[in-house]
Amino acid sequence: MPSSVLTRGLVALALFVCASLVQAETLKPFVLAYSKAGADVSAEVESVREKLQGADYRILGEYPVTDAARVVIATSDALLAAAASAPRGAYIAPLRVAVTRVDGNVQVSYLNLEYFRHAYQIETSLAAAANLLAARLGASSTFGAEGLTPSTLARYRYAFGMERFADPYRLASHPDRRAALAALDANLEAGKGGVREIYRVEIPGQDATLIGVSIREDAGADRDASDAYKLTTVDVRDPRHTAYFPYEILVRGGEVEALHMRFRMALHFPDLSMMGDNSFMQLRRSPAAVEQALKHAAGG
């Protein structure tokens, strides 16, 4: 066989192998830790809290989205270090772990750290942190998408013309972070826009604070903005995507922002259909309603 033919064959084989490896390296947004028949949601939440603390996580807060769906929020040194490594990396700081009752079973699920750190353009690997979570909480499967590559996640948007990570809601502008937090503290305490604080975390080495919030119709939010409405409209597949909540407000210096819902929801529900039942179209009024609610809270 001529050497040129052999060389071309080897190059083609190498390219095929590389392409296969890249294609195989896909990620999904959620990890199903386990599902348990007949379990009590409150008891399972306590078990989750204990397991997280045993893995050196600090509990930041807890959010009862509905009677059947609760989220425990925690952070760790590894997540805070990753958050501090990128200008807008704060969004990776909170780990959200959901406990959801579905047809007599309780599902425990949490965010896939490697998926979200690529989406938030963080170069620091969280594979070790993910392995520790898998050992402590469990990891029976990943779910929530057919799978996206790291390069796709780094520039992710749901469709042409829709927002990316770099296109957040601009909620308010204040002289500095102290002034921004003072406005937020007053408005969150008053529940303006139906928005209340669940947790907050300071990002080390940055002039930044991340605040997790609830948006509730029973607290005065517009229905289209409310967490429960969004959850019951699109979160109908098993396993559930309860760990989508709570929403975050990021304060960087005096600037206050939040991820645009058309980016944030699509990132957590990348396989959700655009039209039809339980689709994005049914939430077409929600992005503007969420922005308005969060602006009330931010003093914008």
Q: What is the mean pLDDT of residues 213-239?
A: 95
Decide: 263 and 165 in contact? Cβ < 8 Å.
Answer: yes
Of residues 16 and 178, more confidence is placed in 178
Over residues 180-206, mean pLDDT: 98
Q: Using the 8-state DSSP alphabet, how is residue 253 labeled?
A: T
Q: Is the pLDDT of residue 215 over 90?
A: yes
Residue 15, pLDDT score? 39
The token pair at 234 is 């699109």
What are the sequence ranges of the domains in the chain?
26-298
Is 226:293 a contact under the CB 8 Å cutoff? no
What is the model's pLDDT at position 16?
37
Q: Is the pLDDT of residue 10 over 50?
A: no
What is the end-to-end Cα distance of the chain in Å, rounded?
A: 72
pLDDT-based confidence at 219, cuts 50/70/90?
very high
Question: What is residue 299's DSSP assignment?
Answer: T
Beta strands 58-66 and 69-75, pairing class: antiparallel
Supply the pLDDT for residue 133: 95
pLDDT band at 140 (very low <50, low <70, confident <90, very high): very high
Look at residue 5 in the predicted model and tell me its pLDDT. Answer: 44
> pTM (2 decimals)?
0.90
Instruction: For the chain, state the CA radius of gyration.
Output: 20
Range 269-275 average pLDDT: 87
**Which comes out higher in pLDDT, residue 72 or 10?**
72
pLDDT in tens, 37-50: 987 999 999 999 99
95 pLDDT higher than 70: yes
- What number is the average pLDDT over the span 104-110? 96
- Residue 276 is predicted with a pLDDT of 78
Q: Quick one: pLDDT band at residue 189, thresholds 50, 70, 90?
A: very high
Which is higher by pLDDT, 280 or 135? 135
Q: State yes or no: pLDDT of 186 exceeds 90.
A: yes
